[in-house]
Structure formats: C-alpha cells, structure tokens
Amino acid sequence: MINLSRQLGGAFGIAVLANYLGHHTEMHRVDLVSNIVSGSLLTDQRLGMMRQAFIARGMDAVHAHAAALQVLNGQVQCQASMLGFNDAWMLVLIVFALVSPALLLLRRAKAVPAADVDMH
C-alpha cells in the first residue's frame, strides 16, 4: 500500500506539474509575443540583422525573411519555456515549504531486534 501511494502521488504530481508548466509557458509566450510589434525599432533591427545574416549565407530575400521570422519564433519559445520552468520550480519550492513542517509529525520507527542466527 505504501508503494502504491508513493507511485500514485508521483504520477499525479508529475501530471499536475506538466499541466502547470504547459499553461505557464503559453501564458509567457502570449506576453512575449505581444511585445514584438512590426514597425518597432528593436523588432525591425533584429529581423534586419538576421535577414542580412541569412542573405550573406546565400539565401534570397524572401527565404531569408521567412528564416529570420522562424529564428525569432524559436527565441520567443525558448524564453517562454525558461519562464515557465521558473514558475514550475517556484511551485515546487512553495509546495515543499508548505509540506516540510509535516515531517516533524512523523515518528521514528522502533528498531526491531535481529533474530538470533544458529551457527552450526
């Protein structure tokens, strides 16, 4: 029963944490994407630098622009994932801090004397 409880607790914990991570990653992605505006000086500079880098490697302008947008999308996804993992670790920390006082309520198991072994 103890092993079953441990296995179920771990499975439910992982499921909750994975759901929390996915939700918070998407939340941060939406927030980050809202800051990328066409016509913004920083956005246009970054896309221009990436586009020029792809053109310097032999791409035509249309494919270079598409590749620059893909790279920017990957950077946003990477940052959103990092922020989501930060939130997930904070959740784990809070749960640990809330549950750790319960360890004081546990009693130490009494030592069972070892059975005498007949030596023949």
Structure confidence by residue, pLDDT tens digits, 74-86: 999 999 999 999 9
d(CA 103, CA 110): 17
Domain extent listing, the chain = 17-98
Split at pLDDT 50, 70, 90, the class of 114 is low
| φ, ψ for residue 111, nearest 5 deg | -70, 130
d(CA 34, CA 2): 48
pTM above 0.85, yes or no: no
As a whole-number percent, the residues of the chain with pLDDT over 70 amount to 92
Lowest mean pLDDT among 81-85, 102-106, 115-119: 115-119
d(CA 77, CA 30): 10
**Cβ–Cβ under 8 Å, residues 20 and 91:** yes
